[in-house]
Each structure stands twice: as C-alpha cells, then as structure tokens.
C-alpha cells in the first residue's frame, strides 16, 4: 500500500463528508434528533456522513473492514480497519456550537497508519501518517513546547452517564484550576486530541470513550511528538476506556494526579 496516496485519498473523502455536514446541519429540526443514551444525540446528518465515508473509503482500500459509531455498515474485523466517527461533537452541532469534527483513522493489525480530524466549521484539517509527522492544513505541527506546567491549558470531557464519580472529577478540576492556566471542556474528544497535537492544549484526559473517538487523534499526538496512554501508562491500543494525551514534559505530572 502507498501510504502517502492513501492519506491523500482519505483526506479527500473526509472533505466531502465535512461539506455534507456543513450543508445539512442547519436543516436539522428538533423532530430529527434522536437520543441514543443520556447526553448522546444523533441525527440523519451523522448517519449520512458515515454512509459517504464508508462508500468512499471502501473504494480506497476494498480489503479493509470497518468500525463505525453509527453502525451504517456491519462492523467487520480484518487486518486493515477503518475507524470512523462521522461527527464527533454531535451535541455541539445540534445546539449551534461551532465545534465538531469528522474523525477517520486507518489501522493495520491494531497499528495506526493514518489519522484525520477535520473541524467542519473552520475547515481546519489535522492529519498524520505513521512515521510521517503531523500536519494542520499542510503545515507541520508539534505538541506544546512550553516548559512550565502553570502555563498550559488542560482539556477534559465527562462521561455520557449519570453514575460517575463526581467527587473525583471535581478533584481533578480543582488541581488544574490551581496549577495551570485553566481547564477546557469543549465537547469533542477528537478535536481535544488534535489541539494537544498542535500545542493549543498541554494535555487532555478522558475516560469511557470509544475507539472511534480517539483513534485518529491518538496518531496525531504521537506523530506530533506527544505521548498517549491510559491512566496507568499503558501505551498499547486506542480503546478509549481511558485516554491521557500530553506533551512529554507534562505527561508524568498529569498521570500522577489522575492516579492519586
């Protein structure tokens, strides 16, 4: 497989899906919105974008299987796998908050090869390939080069359920508020990871996610010089059950707090 050509073709497929989302999201009415679970919404836009991606990616790499959020195609385990979140930040999109993205990754036997996160409103496209570096709209990017922990922003997200440990979550936030420039909860895990990759955030952490939320962003951060693991430091895989992404100089500090 020509990895550079695959990345280029995948970027084009993501562009088409992003244009579809941008044109359709303004047409969504309250009657079009479904609640999959607490705080997790979906509309025909998510599903339509996923169908576009599945169609185009199937032509790029016919032998690949799919792992998708909206299940518009049956999940199939194959050596090559497309991992798709057609609209990460659906709640933002349906509430008129202009911060949501298309996220697509390609893996081979669990090894990430390609990752793309495309913010629909701004047109910012973050992308990376294995050993090829990370980019934002053709410009190379790297994780934060700041030295002092107190000078960074930290991003996080909250699980889509109502039985999580709020005391622990607020304890983390108190730590960051007292020791950093602040905390951001933006509503898109894929973009949070992309923002770590380009240095806007010094670190990001979140639990109870899914592979399609974090796969593309994981490759972005690693190719931009950052570290991605679970809270205990295991860097294998990208399941999303626990995700900690950081510039290397802040990684141990954040991990220590998360494990208190």
Residue 23: the pLDDT is 92
Contact 80, 62 (CB under 8 A): no
The percentage of the chain sitting over the pLDDT mark of 70, rounded to a whole number, equals: 92
Show the 3-state SS of 199-216.
Answer: CCCCEEEEECCCHHHHHH
Give 211-259 pLDDT, tens digit per residue.
999 999 999 999 999 999 999 999 877 777 899 999 999 999 999 999 9
Where along the chain do the CATH 3.40.190.80 domains lie?
A: 149-258
Give 71-110 pLDDT, tens digit per residue.
778 777 899 999 999 999 988 998 899 999 999 999 999 9
Buried b (16+ CB within 10 A) or exposed e, 75-92: eeeeebbbbbbbbbbbbb
Give 187-215 pLDDT, tens digit per residue.
999 999 999 999 999 999 999 899 999 99
Where along the chain do the CATH 3.30.540.10 domains lie?
A: 3-140
The percentage of the chain sitting over the pLDDT mark of 90, rounded to a whole number, equals: 77
The token duo for 171 is: 């304890």
Contacts of 21 (CB under 8 A, 6+ apart): 45, 49, 86, 87, 93, 100, 102, 120
Average pLDDT, the chain: 92
Per CATH, the number for 149-258 is 3.40.190.80
Give 132-163 pLDDT, tens digit per residue.
999 999 999 999 999 999 999 999 998 776 66
Residue 196: the pLDDT is 98
Looking at CATH, the fold of the domain delimited by 3-140 is given as Fructose-1,6-Bisphosphatase; Chain A, domain 1 (3.30.540)
Contact 84, 113 (CB under 8 A): no
């Amino acid at each position: 497989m020509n990895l550079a050509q695959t990345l280029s073709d995948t970027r084009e497929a993501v562009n088409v899906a992003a244009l579809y989302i941008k044109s359709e999201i303004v047409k969504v009415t309250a009657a079009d919105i479904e609640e999959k679970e607490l705080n997790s919404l979906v509309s025909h836009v998510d599903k339509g974008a996923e169908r576009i991606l599945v169609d185009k990616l199937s032509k790029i790499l016919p032998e690949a299987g799919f792992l998708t959020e909206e299940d518009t195609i049956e999940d199939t385990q194959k050596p090559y796998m497309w991992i798709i979140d057609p609209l990460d930040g659906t709640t933002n999109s349906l509430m008129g908050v202009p911060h949501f993205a298309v996220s697509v990754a390609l893996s081979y036997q669990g090894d990430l090869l390609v990752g793309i996160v495309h913010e629909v409103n701004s047109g910012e496209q973050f992308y990376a390939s294995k050993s090829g570096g990370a980019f934002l709209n053709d410009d190379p990017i790297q994780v934060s080069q700041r030295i002092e922990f107190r000078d960074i922003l930290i991003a996080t997200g909250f699980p889509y359920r109502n039985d999580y440990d709020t005391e622990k979550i607020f304890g983390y936030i108190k730590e960051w508020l007292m020791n950093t420039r602040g905390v951001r909860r933006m509503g898109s895990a894929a973009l949070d990871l992309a923002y770590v990759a380009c240095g806007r955030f010094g670190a990001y952490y979140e639990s109870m996610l899914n592979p399609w939320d974090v796969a593309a962003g994981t490759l972005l951060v690693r190719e931009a010089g950052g570290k991605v693991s679970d809270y205990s430091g295991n860097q294998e895989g990208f399941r999303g059950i626990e995700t900690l992404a950081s510039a290397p100089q802040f990684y141990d500090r954040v991990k220590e707090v998360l494990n208190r």
